[in-house]
Amino acid sequence: MNSSTEVPGNNSTPTVSDESKQPSSLQLQPKEQVSETAAPAAPQFPEGGLRGWLTVAGGSMVVMCTFGIVQSFGVFQDYYTRITLSEHTPSQISWIGSFQLFLLFAIALPSGRLYDEGYFRYLVGGGGLLYLFSVFMLSLTKPHEYYQTFLSQGLGIGLGMGIIFLPSLSISSHYFRARRSLAMGIVIAGASMGGVIWPIMLNHLFSDSAGFAWGVRTSGFIALLLLVFAFFFMKTRLPSRKERPDAAPVRIRPLLTDVPYMVCVVGSFFVFWGLFFPFFYLQLFANLHGVPHTFALYTIPILNGASLFGRTLPNFAADYYGRFNIIIPMTTVAGLLMFAMFGATDIHGMIAFAILYGFFSGCFLSMTAPMLTVFAKSVEEVGIRIGLACFIFSFALLTGNPISGALLHPPDYFWSRAIIFNAVMVLFGCFLLTVARAMVVKAKGTQWV
């Protein structure tokens, strides 16, 4: 096993990353040299405090404006398919949301490097401005002009999201180590809050006299308020890499040869390939299966509302029982639940599916980052390890939903093809995560991973 792999675990409460047990530069120098250089000790973590929880709250606000909007794309998918871009196929329309998702994760690699180098404020401020500008540009797009929608929503908003997402998610690691899964879970739970609020608001504004333009502008004004609060709430605590001349540079190549880490990343890739299918297509699925339109508008909010609990409760348990021990069974159930869409053709079935799938899939979405920090040798590696993984995930997110749209083959809509494809991808990803867990267990000598 690659010696760079670091896994949690002890007989009581496993931690996300045991930086304090790593040999520091102090231990590698002669005593007389230590006294001269006075190298810093391993960083301490307050595990909370006012500043720590304000940082978590600010991160959650950013995630609400980024991942929360992405998880609400089902509203846009349904609206574009039936009204403003009706001449385009669902697959073509889903490229808008998928490209947005792609950039959200792909930009995480360079933004992760810049975050590690101490450019947190520049990333959040500059990325936030680009995001808000693109939202208001989307409100000016004209019906049936696909390129305008793609440029503003897919490219512009996607770039802004990608710049601010990872730094806002990773900053909580400056304040938490033993409770890092819980802290990151609360941050990522902002996506669920956004996934409840945005669809309800946008559906009503799109269908009322306000219309599409003012619906989008309203979301922009709310996002402006949230991002301003988040900018002042979040604050770095640990010195950046450029402020620590003794810090060894973090390179990508050793991460690519870290076998357990890469098996975990590839497994997560397949899960991401299929996991977002209901988030993009459930509202359209409900409308085309005779579910009353007034109820279909609430399918995405119900899905995301249940996801809120799936992103917090399992994370609390993961800090005690291990990240892999929680994320694998929860995600496996989510993959199996995908088959339940075959029977979710009335209101009761739709409610049951949305609640259950939202809860179990939410665990994977919030636990992915804490799971990846298991392999970090120190807190300085957190940003680059998550960033590299997100860059790889981005290609699954770019292609997954367009593939699903092509499998649907409108106007016939062969839902069985898309459902089976996405369910199999999620379950295969869970198998690879199980393999990665076995490697971690063997290296650590404990089942609490």
Region of 48 on the Ramachandran plot (φ > 0 left; ψ -120 to 50 alpha; else beta): left
Q: Which CATH number fits domain 47-238+252-444: 3.20.20.140, 3.40.50.80, 1.20.1250.20, 1.10.540.10?
A: 1.20.1250.20
pLDDT tens for each residue of 225-265: 999 999 999 988 776 666 666 666 678 888 999 999 999 99
pLDDT tens for each residue of 2-43: 444 444 444 443 443 444 444 333 333 443 443 444 445 556
The better pLDDT of the pair 87, 383 is held by 87
Task: Please tell me the predicted confidence (pLDDT) of residue 16.
Answer: 39
Cα(375)–Cα(1) distance, rounded to whole angstroms?
A: 12
Cα(355)–Cα(199) distance, rounded to whole angstroms?
A: 16
Average pLDDT over residues 413-418: 94
pLDDT tens for each residue of 259-278: 999 999 999 999 999 999 99
What are the C-alpha distances in Å from 321 to residues 11, 15, 21, 39, 276? Answer: 10, 10, 20, 34, 27
Average pLDDT over residues 412-431: 96
Cα(23)–Cα(21) distance, rounded to whole angstroms?
A: 6
